[in-house]
């Protein structure tokens, strides 16, 4: 241990602690990196695949994840249009977003259990098909609020496999030292990609009608389906416990551990890799796996990750819900096009945060590893929360002040501070995801399930109260309170 990370009271194996630099040489900028987890001798082990293939798989998943993530904020610029078209108040239009995120959270429980039992490929295929079908349904729902609500729930369900599993897939495909920028990319597509949709949707609605925002999703989902089918094989793979350890029980480097596999299987053919299933991944009962994540809500690391990632996600969803109510009226009188353009700030914030988080996640960790004698500690990932604290909290406070007095500050400053909130959200998502994957790899899928449930149900609850809260209190009071809560959550990283 070192650099502020506390020592354990015993000398056994500590999950996540690992030698990642060759301790037989001087620890300098040229010390070789030890690959962790250590790949097995099986050619079907994803860690044995060439890097270009692993990156291609991740790029395809990020592409469909961006498409799926746009469903969350798909109606943000259309609030007034849908309210008039369907004859419903703003509060009921807001629930079209609320039930979408609720569908993601509830379906995630079932999908994650299925991923544990049967792997992830069939769920990525199912999610893509459901996204295609629900988008066609939404566009064809006509004046029926209930039909559109059903389509939105199914859209939320279609996003669940990607939101729940893509970060775990990064852990399947890449070594510890390769995950930083790729985890930043996967989180940017899930959380930041949603904020690209309103920029286009406002203009699409104004020009072609709101239905075409759904039809374009269906078109891109149809294009993504063959990519997922042909280019995304199963990534779940079971290795021996020793392969996942960074330090053996006697504190020798990981390369002194031996692979227990005596016979090397043949490599699967391309045709075989196209199967949605390639066998079960565990002999455990499905229902036992299904209920396993829920006790983790009492696990300190999981609670910290849920709060660090989920609360700021909830604030951002709420900002999207109240955006129209704040800017459609006086003094700015925005239409759906201008409301959509307000998401340019969040979109740019997500892109910049992805670049910064990718650089900080890798470089800061490598710096601390060398300062720590070549030993990696998962707590090194928490450093990114400092950036989340500075950027995200500033964004919440600033948005509250400027949006409450649009006559004085106009649209630019609220747009800028909204971008800071999304940038902070990306930073927190990357920090919490990397920490869970690195420190608790054996329960990472279940931990991501808890994070999925928390952030989506929390966001769902906020959509119920968003407009009433805005009417009762001002935007200033709302977002100042949110900022104070976020400061408290950031402080929780210190005892971690």
Whether residue 223 has pLDDT greater than 90: yes
pTM score: 0.82
249-278 pLDDT per residue, tens: 444 444 444 454 557 788 889 999 999 998
Q: How far apart are CA 430 and CA 105, in angstroms?
A: 19
Q: What is the token pair recorded at 426? A: 């990306």
Q: What is the token pair recorded at 125? A: 């295929």
Q: 400 with 381: CB under 8 angstroms?
A: no
Which distant-in-sequence residues (6+ apart) come within 8 Å of 46 by Cβ?
Answer: 54, 172, 173, 235, 237
Can you point out the beta strands (E) in 344-426? 375-376
Q: What's the pLDDT band for 446 if we cut at 50, 70, 90?
A: confident
Q: How far apart are CA 395 and CA 486, in angstroms?
A: 11
Query: Which percentage of the chain shows pLDDT scores above 70?
Result: 88
Whether residue 8 has pLDDT greater than 80: no
Query: Would you state the torsion angle of the CA atoms of residues 272, 274, 277, 281, taken in this order, to the nearest 10 degrees?
Result: 70
Q: Which residue has the tokens 């960790």?
A: 365
21-74 pLDDT per residue, tens: 554 444 444 555 667 778 888 898 999 999 999 999 999 999 999 999 999 888
Residue 87: DSSP 8-state: T
Q: How far apart are CA 329 and CA 314, in angstroms?
A: 24
Mean pLDDT (whole number) for 434-462: 87
165-196 pLDDT per residue, tens: 998 899 899 987 788 889 888 888 887 778 88
Other CB atoms within 10 Å distance of the CB of residue 253: 19
Residue 311: DSSP 8-state: H
Q: What is the pLDDT of residue 213?
A: 94
Q: What's the pLDDT band for 248 if we cut at 50, 70, 90?
A: very low
111-148 pLDDT per residue, tens: 989 998 999 999 999 999 999 999 999 999 999 999 99
When computed from its CA atoms, the radius of gyration of the chain, rounded to whole angstroms, is 23
Alpha-carbon distances, residue 209 vs 204, 266, 365 (angstroms): 6, 54, 48
Q: What is the pLDDT of residue 149?
A: 96
Count CA within 13 A, CB hemisphere, residue 26. Answer: 3
More confident residue, 96 or 2: 96
Alpha-carbon distances, residue 467 vs 197, 325, 329, 337 (angstroms): 22, 8, 14, 21
Q: What is the pLDDT of residue 6?
A: 52
């Amino acid at each position: 241990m070192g650099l502020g990370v506390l020592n354990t009271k015993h000398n056994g194996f500590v999950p996540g602690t690992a030698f990642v630099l060759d301790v037989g040489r001087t620890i300098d900028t040229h010390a070789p990196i030890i690959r962790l987890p250590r790949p097995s001798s099986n050619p079907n082990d994803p860690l044995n695949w060439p890097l270009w293939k692993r990156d291609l798989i991740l790029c395809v998943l990020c592409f469909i994840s961006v498409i799926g993530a746009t469903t969350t904020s798909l109606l943000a610029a259309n609030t007034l249009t849908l309210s008039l078209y369907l004859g419903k108040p703003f509060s009921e239009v807001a629930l079209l977003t609320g039930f979408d995120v609720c569908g993601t959270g509830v379906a995630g429980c079932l999908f994650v259990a299925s991923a544990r039992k049967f792997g992830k490929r069939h769920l990525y295929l199912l999610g893509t098909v459901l996204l295609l079908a629900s988008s066609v349904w939404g566009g064809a729902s006509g004046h029926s609020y209930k039909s559109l609500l059903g389509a939105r729930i199914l859209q939320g369900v279609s996003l669940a496999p990607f939101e729940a599993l893509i970060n775990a897939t990064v852990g399947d495909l890449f070594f510890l030292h390769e995950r930083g920028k790729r985890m930043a990319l996967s989180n940017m597509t899930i959380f930041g990609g949603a904020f690209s949709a309103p920029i286009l949707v406002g203009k699409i609605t104004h020009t072609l009608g709101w239905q075409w925002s759904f039809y374009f999703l269906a078109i891109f989902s149809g294009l993504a389906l063959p990519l997922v089918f042909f280019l995304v094989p199963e990534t779940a793979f079971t290795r021996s416990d020793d392969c996942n350890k960074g330090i053996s029980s006697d504190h020798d480097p990981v390369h002194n551990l031996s692979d227990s596999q005596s016979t090397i299987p043949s490599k699967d053919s391309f045709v075989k890799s196209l199967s949605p299933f390639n066998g079960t991944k565990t002999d455990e009962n499905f229902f036992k796996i299904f209920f396993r994540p829920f006790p983790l809500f009492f696990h300190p690391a999981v609670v910290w990750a849920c709060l660090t990632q989920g609360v700021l996600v909830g604030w951002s969803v709420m900002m999207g819900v109240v955006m129209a109510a704040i800017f459609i009226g006086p003094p700015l009188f925005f239409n759906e096009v201008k409301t959509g353009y307000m998401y340019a700030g969040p979109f740019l914030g997500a892109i910049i945060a992805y670049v910064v988080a990718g650089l900080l996640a890798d470089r800061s960790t490598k710096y601390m590893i060398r300062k720590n004698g070549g030993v990696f500690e998962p707590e090194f990932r928490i450093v990114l929360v400092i950036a989340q604290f500075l950027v995200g909290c500033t964004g919440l406070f600033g948005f509250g002040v400027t949006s409450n007095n649009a006559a004085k500050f106009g649209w630019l400053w609220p747009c800028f501070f909204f971008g800071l909130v999304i940038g902070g959200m990306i930073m927190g998502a990357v920090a919490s995801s990397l920490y869970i994957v690195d420190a608790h790899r054996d329960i990472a899928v279940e931990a991501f399930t808890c994070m999925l449930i928390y952030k989506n149900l929390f966001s769902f609850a906020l959509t119920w109260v968003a407009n009433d809260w805005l009417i009762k209190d001002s935007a200033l009071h709302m977002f100042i309170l949110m900022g104070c809560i976020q400061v408290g959550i950031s402080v929780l990283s210190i005892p971690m």
